[in-house]
Amino acid sequence: MIETDPTIDINLSGDPSSMIECVKHYLKDKWMKDIHAYQKKGYDEMSQINLTLAEIGLEHDMKDLHKYEIRLTGRDKT
């Protein structure tokens, strides 16, 4: 089923060029919507990857901070 935009007035009174223009408009609009959906999916996937990497980095930072604090307090015997 083809979705139509009610704000666009298209006269399809048998003129083949107007039908071609209508199909072109539909395909371009569908193509743009598909690209938008594809990009949104990509950004959603990338956000999960970035979150995981940030958590890994934070974990390493906390370990380093803990080691540093141990050395500062003199509890490190080495």
**Token code pair at residue 69:** 């604090």
Q: Which of 25, 18, 19 is nearest to 4 (CA)?
A: 25
State the amino acid at position 50 in one-letter form.
Answer: N
CB contact at 8 A, 10 and 18: yes
Q: Which DSSP category does 6 fall into? A: T
Alpha helix locations (H) across 1-78? 16-73
Tokens representing 3 are 């979705």
Average pLDDT per consecutive 10 residues, the chain (78 residues; last block may be shorter): 64 74 93 97 96 93 93 79
Kindly report whether the global pTM for this prediction surpasses the value 0.75.
no
pLDDT of residue 76: 72
